[in-house]
Amino acid sequence: MDSVWGNIFRFERDRIDNTKFLEKIPIFAGLRKGELRALERITHLRKYQRGEIIFHRNDPGVGLYVVRSGSVKIVIDQPSASAPSDEPILLANLLVGDFFGEASLPDGSPRSATAIAEEETELIGLFRPDLLDFCSRDAKTGNKILWNVCEVLAKRLRHVNDTLSSRKVSLQKEQTK
């Protein structure tokens, strides 16, 4: 088979596979097939080796990533004054279908943690400038995506609030003993 034709068909298969993959991600929930195909055209596939830094804490927030294959750990450095060791604090282990960095889509704030590939990893990136351009061309689909981002951020904030509240109650109980 002529390799040129093989590459064309492989590209089409990969594009369809990415579209089917993206429809399962909560941020893209409710998008129709055509909307998913349009979205897929503005995504970027990135590959990382084991131990490779995807981004550092305080790097500019440029977009979100979806784990296509492999795994990613999200960590923060311990504050040096109170740190018993130099080991970073593990916030999350992310697997296929998990996503991270979505907080940078609305505001482009610096990264709040460091992301590291735990093994050979493929990520699908959706970057803020591409999404903003997409929203200006297709406001209806862009609004669906941004609304889903808001829902995800609200759920994650609620989870953090619940965790902090329960930890605070536990600390207060320990202090009264």
Q: Give the tens place of pLDDT for each residue, 87-136.
A: 889 999 999 999 999 999 888 899 999 999 999 999 999 999 999 999 99
Amino acid at position 60, single letter: P
User: How many Å apart are CA 133 and CA 26, to the nearest integer?
Assistant: 21
Rg (CA), the chain: 19
Q: Tell me the range of 17-26, 28-37, 166-175 where mean pLDDT is highest.
A: 28-37
Strand order of the β-sheet with 99-100 is 44-48, 121-127, 63-69, 99-100
Sign of CA dihedral 23, 24, 25, 30: positive
**Separation CA 88–CA 76 (nearest Å):** 5
Which pair of structure tokens corresponds to residue 108?
A: 């482009």
Q: Is the pTM of this model over 0.85?
A: no
pLDDT at residue number 154: 92
Structural domain 3-176, CATH architecture: Sandwich (2.60)
